[in-house]
Amino acid sequence: MQWSDEEEAAARKKVEENSAVRVLLEEQVKFENEASKYWDTFYKIHKNKFFKDRNWLLREFPEIIPVDQKTEQKLEELSWDHAKTSAANGFSRMHCPTMPEEKNYNKKRCGSSDGQRKAGSHFSNLDSKEHRKGPLKTELFPGSNATFRILEVGCGAGNSVFPILNTLQDAPESFLYCCDFASGAVELVKLHSSYRAAQCCAFVHDVCDEDLPFPFPDGILDVILLVFVLSSIHPDRMQGVINRLSNLLKPGGMLLFRDYGRYDKTQLRFKRGHCLSENFYVRGDGTRAYFFTKGEVHNMFCKAGLDEKQNLVDRRLQVNRKKQVKMHRVWVQGKFQKPLHLTQKTSKLVF
């Protein structure tokens, strides 16, 4: 839906009001330094009951799944099932989260099952200084035999992981990595009945730590999923995170992005005294959220050397019929591709 000039002006005024009082600097430092603690507490309280599974992912981002006859058929079935459900229940309720979406961060622990367990434990026992020096040997990392590799950053309790894994049953050559900086969230993923260590590696990781290695080499990923994650990171660190993720993609690989847009109802509902900086807020539980414009998203991903394939603002209207309340939702969604041909500045190799 499109907003009227009056609606946009009212939203802008609301943001000006709730941004007038800023959180004290010492408090802001605390929220930054203890970010993982706040998200760990969140998952201890809510476990895997807070967010709904993102069954819309494959419709919005079919790039997640390698294209073959089986997965094409699966996607058609999912799309048709979703269309029937949407007609009955209203599309927007299936499409959106109810409030904050997940996050990302700290240790390295992978799944436990025979071959994958052996590879994962071998990796974790390597001397940290030694494997920080360069790419890992291909025989050492989880998913080394896969031909199609996906990473979800900020997996939370697995609301994207398990819809993807369910579809990957038809694509055994694929492998899914998923990480979060809340150790409690990663534990929830690994304890889930649908977790398969033979095709998935869940690990704790802080994507803001540029010196912290991933459990796989750079340049091997076909897809990176970054959904409602970047908004929870301090704006000063966002570009570094995107640059690092760009290095993980192989030429032609895709980074798929979706997050809060400017003037989303979540931003408008913040009270005075919760604003950290411009369009960046802290919730009552200590977790944080930033609200993007399409231009900001374009600039960040293009600076990381990625080509823009999609960048749109998705505006929807949710209606609580029982309470007769209308809520404007705004998201920014983008698809960004690693160039097939690297320039002289980034590499001497041409693929």
The predicted pLDDT at position 52 comes to: 65
The predicted pLDDT at position 342 comes to: 57
The predicted pLDDT at position 252 comes to: 96
pLDDT over 90, % of the chain: 52
The predicted pLDDT at position 195 comes to: 93
316-331 burial: b if 16+ Cβ within 10 Å, else e: bebeeeeeeeebbbbb
Lowest mean pLDDT among 39-48, 113-122, 315-324: 113-122
Domain ranges in the chain?
24-64+142-338
The predicted pLDDT at position 277 comes to: 95
| pLDDT tier, 225 (very low <50, low <70, confident <90, very high otherwise) | very high
Give me the sheet containing 325-337, strands edge to edge: 200-204, 174-180, 148-153, 221-227, 249-260, 325-337, 307-320
| pLDDT tier, 66 (very low <50, low <70, confident <90, very high otherwise) | confident
pLDDT over 70, % of the chain: 74
Contact 201, 110 (CB under 8 A): yes
Contact 102, 189 (CB under 8 A): no
Mean pLDDT score of the chain:
79
Q: How far apart are CA 334 and CA 276, in angstroms?
A: 26
CATH superfamily for 24-64+142-338 is Vaccinia Virus protein VP39 (3.40.50.150)
The predicted pLDDT at position 4 comes to: 84
Among 221, 179, 216, 219, smallest CA distance to 66 is for 221
What is the mean predicted confidence (pLDDT) over 21-34?
90
pLDDT digits (tens, 9 = 90+) for 88-124: 443 333 333 333 343 333 333 333 334 333 333 333 3
Q: What is the pTM of this model?
A: 0.76
The predicted pLDDT at position 7 comes to: 87
The predicted pLDDT at position 2 comes to: 82
